[in-house]
Structures are given as C-alpha cells and as structure tokens.
Amino acid sequence: MTGAYEAAGRVVAGRYRLLRRLGTGGMGRVWLAHDQELACEVALKEIVLSPDIPESEVSARIARARGETQHAARLRNHPHVVTVYDIVESGGLPWIVMEFVPGATDLEAVVRDQGPLPLADVARIGLAILDALMEGHRLGVLHRDVKPANVLLTGPGPHASRTTEDGRVLLTDYGIALEPSSGAPRLTAPAEIIGTVRFMAPERLHGGTPTPASDLFSLGGTLYFALEGTGPFDRDSDCALLSALLSEPPTPPRRTAEAAPLLLGLLAKDPEQRMDGDEAARQLTALAVRPGPASAQPVTLPTVVPSAGPREPVGPVPPRSAEPAPQTELLPPVEFRLPAEFQPAAEPEEPVGPPPEPPHREQREEKPRPHPRPPRSGHRRAGLIAGAVALVAGGAGVYLALPDPPAPASVSSIRVGGHPEGVAVSPDGRRAYVTNERSSSVSVIDTATNKVDRTIPVGSFPKGVEVSPDGHRAYVANLGSGSVSVIDTAANKVDSTIPVGRQPDGVAVSPGDGSRVYVTNGRSDSVSVIDTATNKVDRTIPVGSSPAGVAMSPDGRRAYVANLGSGSVSVVDTTTGKVGRTIPVGRSPQAVDVSPDGRRVYVTSLGSGAVSVVDTTTGKVDDTVPVGSGPQGVAVSPDNGRWAYVTGFSSGAVSVIDTATNEVGRTISVGSGPAGVAMSPDGRRVYVADFSSGSVSVITV
C-alpha cells in the first residue's frame, strides 16, 4: 500500500500531481491533487488493495470504482451531489477524479465536535439529501450507503451556519450505488452485505433487494443522528446493534419530540409501511421553517420535486466547496432505550408574549385540553378552601388575588461553555453551577456579578448537577464517562471521581445532612446511592427504564425518579433502598421536582408536551398541565411553592405554572434550547441553561 509521504508528488495518469491525503474511505484513499493541464485542484480517489485480498475481491473493487463514476456522473448536474469529472487508470487500477472545494466537513464530524444540531438546520440538511436521493431514484440509481460521514457540509463559521446560502449540503460516495434496472451484474455475492450496518435498512440485513425505501431508512437514521448525537439503534456491542436493527423499535428522539413522526416514519421496519419521499419532503419543509435557534444567515430551502417522472438537467453547476470525507465511524454510541408505544402527542400552541389579564377562574370559558384533567380529590379541594380561609383571615388576601405570576423585571444572559445542560444554585445563592456537555466542564457563575468566575473540567458529557446542603460540594453526573465528579466548591476543583452505572444523568442530594447522593443511570435502569462520607456507591436500586431526572422529598424519606423509557415515576424509599411505588405519568418523563411542602411532584413529559402533577399522598396524577412541545426541566419556587418553572427546549421559552390553579400563567422567552432550570433560595431568580445558545438566562422575578 502506498504511504502518504511516498505518494505525495506522484503524478497519476500523466496529469494529476498528488499533494496530500484528505481522508480514507471504505474503498480507498482520497487525495488532493493538482490538475496540470487545467491548472486547478481536484480530488482523486485511489483504490487501495491489500496484498491478501482475493482476486475476486480485486475485480469487485475495481468494478465498484467504475460504477461509482458512472452513477455519480448521471447526477453531476445536481446541486447536492459531489461532481465526478473523470476516471483514469494508473498502475492497472482506476482513480476517480472529483471536484475539490476546501472547507467541507462531514456531518458526523460536525456532530462529534459541536453536538446535536438545531432542528431547523437538520431539516434543511435533510431536504438537500432527500432531493439528491429522489433524483437518483428517478434515474434508477440507489445510493445504498447514506450515513452522516457521507454528507458534506461547506460554509464559513460554526455548524449553525453551514446550511446557509454561503454553504452547501452534498451527498458523496456512490461507491456501492446500484442500478436495479441496468442489467449490469451485482457487485456483491448474494450473502454479502456492503455498506454501514449502523444506518442500514433491516430488509438489506435480511438479504432483500435494496429499494428506494432502503435509502430513505438510512436517511432517517442520518437525520436522527444529527438531532440526537447518537444513532437510533446504537447499542453497547455489534450483536446488540444488529438485534436492535432487526427486531427493536428505534429509540424515540429525546431532544426534538416534534421530529418524532418524521423519524419514526422513515425508520419503520417494514419498507411497505415506511414513509415515502414526498411525505418526508412535506414534513421536512414544515420543520425547516419552525421557529428555533437562528442561523447566522438566511437559508434557501431546496425544492424537492415530487416523484413523478425524470427531471431534466438544469445546466452547469457553479463551483462548490466540498472535500470528500472518509467513511469512518467517529462518535461512540450514546443511547437510551425507550418503549415502542412512544408517539408524540398533538401539541398546543405556545403562548407568545405576555397574555392579557384573565378573569377569575370561575369566569373563564372552558377550553378544550389535549389531556383531560382528572377530577381533583375531595381532600385537595377541601384543603384549598381551608387554605383560602386561613390566608384571608391572616391578611394574605392579596396572595390569592394574583391571577398571574409577576412580570419578570429582567432577563439577562450569561455566556458559559458549549451546550449547557444542568444548573444548580448554592444554598446561600451566591454561586450557580452549570454543566457544559460539549465542553466537559462546569461553569461557576458569581450571582452578584452574573459573570463566570471559574471553569472546572469534569468528566465526559456532564449532565445533572446538585450542590450539597452545606454548599461545600457539587456533584456532577458525567453521562459519557459513567461517573460522578465531586467538586470542592472552596477550591473550585474536582477532588474525587466516583464510578457509577452506565450513562448517569440526574443527581440529587439528600436534604439536611447531605449524607447520600442519588444518581440515575440511563443505561443501567438503576439509581446509584453514594455515601458522601466515603465517596463510594453503597447501594444500587433497580428502577424503571432509562431513568433521567431525580428529586428528593423535603424530609429526605423519598426519592422520585422520572423513568424516560417506561413513562413512570419510581418512588424510592430511602430507608429501605427499594422502590415502594411506581406511578404512571405522561410519555417520556424527563425531569422532576418536589414542592417545598412535599405534597406535590411535578414531572415534565417530553412526549406529551405536558407536566404531570402527582399527589404524593395518593400516589396518583392529580392534574396534567399542557405546556407546549419539548418540556425539559422543572423547578418549583422554594419560598412558597406557588410557581413551577418549566423549560421548553423546542419553544425557547419558560412556562410559568400557577400551582394553585395548575395553569400556565405566563411564558417567558429565554435563549435557544432551554434545558435545565434552577431557582435561587429566595425564589427571586430563575437560572435556565440554554443548551443551543451556550448561555444561561437569568430571570429576575
């Protein structure tokens, strides 16, 4: 095999001088070369053959290279396909001559470096890939290896601007493409599977004939990866991945519930039931224009032509900026297992701006709700009446007369690390701790100045964070490294790292003495209980599927665990270390918080677009409050429990629930992709981790 330095300077076919290696793919290496006749730079794909490859495979690889040239040449006028100029021979092997434009990065590398992309940007990328695939299907060409590494993004600046008018989305590598109707012999044996299994349609794994639906399945997996940062069937081993592809439903999207119909439709096991290209184009177009994190510049959406008849070439394409990318798997799988019954619910419109002053509850018109609220229990109604009498008698009638939370005095923004996820405030309110998922760090905010005064490196993909009752320690759940970092808040450094279960997510510290830390393990379906005196796990408690958020009762006797995968809350008895009760709630519960009096638990349901209100006495859902799409974090005001603040990842807003009426009284706009939320001890400030904008919004109320 040719070495990179040995080959540099070599002239191929008497014309193309090799300059440097750009990458390595499944069939060979890609080089930057200088075309000595036209005095321009091109990309050359070299077919690499190991000496131990059998002769039959040598012929097959050469045939694939020639096939790639022919297939891609038929699509050379398409704006979202890398142009192939020619095929030449050198040393008895073919070299593919392709366009080269500097600055291209493959989608997999972008997600690896920047994290999951905003929904609107992914929808635009999807429209471009879909347009290229559908044009190929109209011409009778199947790609057969659609995956993130074969999608190139070009353009200046960060990934958010790579889908703007200054950049392009390009589909590359038609090396295993197939024309079913061409009459040409297949390049693989009947039992041979060529392509990337991680994104391959199940029918291909069963040995079935590839169809356009197979490419659409791979497109669905690619878009899922761009949105979630992991594949829809990623597992801990190749065998488990294959099993999931063949027999398990895809893990429903966790960050973007509104994309679930599109993704689950494209990832249907049965190709006959799979979403077709025209419906995918319609849904992608709707998602591409949804409000969300703004790109750096306006975007021109590709127009996907309906699948009726071939389309004529549209003339020469302007020069593009694409660098062929290697076919490599770059991101280790980070996955959550969820049940098949997840389906996103119809979502109410999110309120925009401050609502008009509503009349008293008894004067309001009854409005239809997506989720009928169950009747309130008699003891709760009696309690509310008794509370009202007591408040009026005590001169607190003004409290009852407030129909809405007070308008925020201000919403300020603090820049932190990449992809902030969790947030916690110290007991004295002087510091806020923010986990930065992409930066693998914790930003420490001085709440007096609203500035970051320290950044502390922690484990990989930090998620949840909580501060001990005495304020001396902050505990950080590191999802990527399966550990908890213990931060000494006086020294502002990690003084201990504790191994826990797989993919730890939420963390809660026992109130009062702070003797125990409860950590949810998303892939172990368990809660690790850490003894803070020894900094060791002294107990592991099985809970529901894919546990996420966790919160403690004020007396420390109960831990409430939101089970993302099983649509339930596990109530852990902290004395016995066992689950004493399991409470069904909404679909895909994400976060949980407990009222200061311990009588109510508030659970965000990502799949239902609502908050479930649990009565801790009866252990049942007492009410369901619609809050719009993508609810993530929840925090109940610590002073009197009157307000519950819920972050809406998709809406870029915080819904404020009046806990006396269980209705949303106000919606406050914050940064892009709000996730975690926490309140100052006096209840006067709300800290929101804005995942997509790399900031923390501080709401003063």
Instruction: Indicate whether 110 and 68 sit together in one domain.
Output: no
Q: Is residue 31 part of a domain?
A: yes
In the numeric block, which tokens belong to residue 406? Answer: 């007070």
Other C-beta atoms closer than 10 Å to the C-beta of 334 total 17
Catalytic residues: 145
Q: What is the DSSP secondary-structure string of 450-503?
A: TEEEEEEE-SSSEEEEEE-TTSSEEEEEETTTTEEEEEETTTTEEEEEEE-SSS
> Which ranges of 140-248 would DSSP assign to H, the alpha helix?
202-205, 212-228, 238-247
Instruction: Indicate whether 133 and 203 sit together in one domain.
Output: yes
pLDDT for residue 248: 84
Other C-beta atoms closer than 10 Å to the C-beta of 173 total 28
Instruction: Indicate whether 123 and 272 sit together in one domain.
Output: yes
Alpha-carbon span 218 to 213, nearest angstrom: 9
pLDDT for residue 368: 37
Instruction: Indicate whether 34 and 149 sit together in one domain.
Output: no
CB 560 within 8 Å of CB 515: no
Residue that finishes a domain, picked among 255, 288, 321: 288
Global pTM? 0.57
Instruction: Indicate whether 189 and 133 sit together in one domain.
Output: yes
CB 263 within 8 Å of CB 99: no
Instruction: Indicate whether 130 and 261 sit together in one domain.
Output: yes
Which residues make Cβ contacts (< 8 Å) with residue 98, sequence separation at least 6?
42, 43, 44, 45, 72, 82, 83, 84, 85, 324
Q: Is residue 218 part of a domain?
A: yes
CATH number at residue 254: 1.10.510.10
Q: Is residue 457 part of a domain?
A: no
The neighbouring-strand residues paired with 669 are 653
Q: Is residue 44 part of a domain?
A: yes
CA neighbor of 483 nearest in space, from 444, 454, 440: 440
Instruction: Indicate whether 62 and 210 sit together in one domain.
Output: no
Q: What is the DSSP secondary-structure string of 606-627?
A: TTTTEEEEEETTTTEEEEEEE-
State the total domains in the chain: 2
Instruction: Indicate whether 275 and 229 sit together in one domain.
Output: yes
What are 488-497's contacts with CB under 8 Å, separation 24+? 489/426, 489/431, 492/444, 492/454, 492/456, 493/456, 494/456, 494/457, 494/458, 496/535, 497/459
3-class SS of residue 69: helix
In the numeric block, which tokens belong to residue 463? Answer: 């998620």
Residue that finishes a domain, picked among 74, 89, 111: 74
Alpha-carbon span 482 to 495, nearest angstrom: 17
Mean confidence (pLDDT) of the chain = 78
Alpha-carbon span 328 to 112, nearest angstrom: 12
Instruction: Indicate whether 130 and 34 sit together in one domain.
Output: no
Is 269 annotated as a binding-site member? no
pLDDT for residue 25: 61
Residue that finishes a domain, picked among 245, 265, 288: 288
Instruction: Indicate whether 17 and 151 sit together in one domain.
Output: no
Identify the domain containing residue 123 by its residue range: 102-288
CA neighbor of 532 nearest in space, from 546, 519, 551, 545: 519
- Amino acid identity, position 233: F
pLDDT for residue 633: 96
Distances (CA, A) of 156 to 153, 161, 163, 164, 484: 10, 7, 10, 9, 37
CATH number at residue 40: 3.30.200.20
Alpha-carbon span 189 to 210, nearest angstrom: 14
pLDDT for residue 154: 85
Instruction: Indicate whether 32 and 142 sit together in one domain.
Output: no
Instruction: Indicate whether 123 and 239 sit together in one domain.
Output: yes
Alpha-carbon span 440 to 457, nearest angstrom: 6
Chunked in runs of 10, what are the mean pLDDT values of the chain (701 residues)? 59 92 73 92 79 68 62 74 81 80 86 89 94 88 88 63 60 59 40 68 86 95 94 86 86 77 91 92 85 41 50 36 34 33 36 37 37 37 37 36 53 93 96 93 97 96 95 95 96 96 94 96 92 97 94 97 92 96 92 97 90 96 90 92 91 93 94 93 95 92 86
Q: Is residue 326 part of a domain?
A: no
Percent helix, strand, coil in the chain, to 5, is 20, 35, 50
